[in-house]
Amino acid sequence: MGKRGTVTDYAGDELYAGDLVAYSTRQGNRVRMADAVVQKVTARQVGGRLRPMLLVKPTGEESGFTRRKSSRAVWIAAEHVRLVVPDVVP
């Protein structure tokens, strides 16, 4: 993130590309927890504020009994993300 500092999860742990994180995602009317690997960390201007954003690729490990239909990379806000294991991808 350069001179602005680092992006952290809600507990204050720093997030970098290659980290394994857990985040909440929606499927229909349900909310599930999913694991994903961070591909890119950046900040975007949203509504006049600078918000930390993460490009994550789901690993397929998630709560719920129905399978995910797509494992595409998605942009998520870093405010509801928790670091699970740092630097899992070399």
Instruction: Tell me the CATH number at 23.
Output: 2.30.30.1060
Is 22 part of any domain? yes
Is 90 part of any domain? no
Whether the per-residue pLDDT at 18 is higher than 80: the answer is yes
Total number of domains constituting the chain: 1
Tens-place pLDDT, residues 38-72: 999 998 888 888 889 999 998 887 787 666 677 88
Whole-model pTM: value is 0.81
Residue count (the chain): 90
Domain extent for 74: 2-85
Is 43 part of any domain? yes
Instruction: Answer yes or no: are the C-beta atoms of 37 and 28 closer than 8 Å.
Output: no
| Beta partners for residue 42, in sequence order | 53
Whether the per-residue pLDDT at 15 is higher than 80: the answer is yes
pLDDT in the model for residue 4: 61
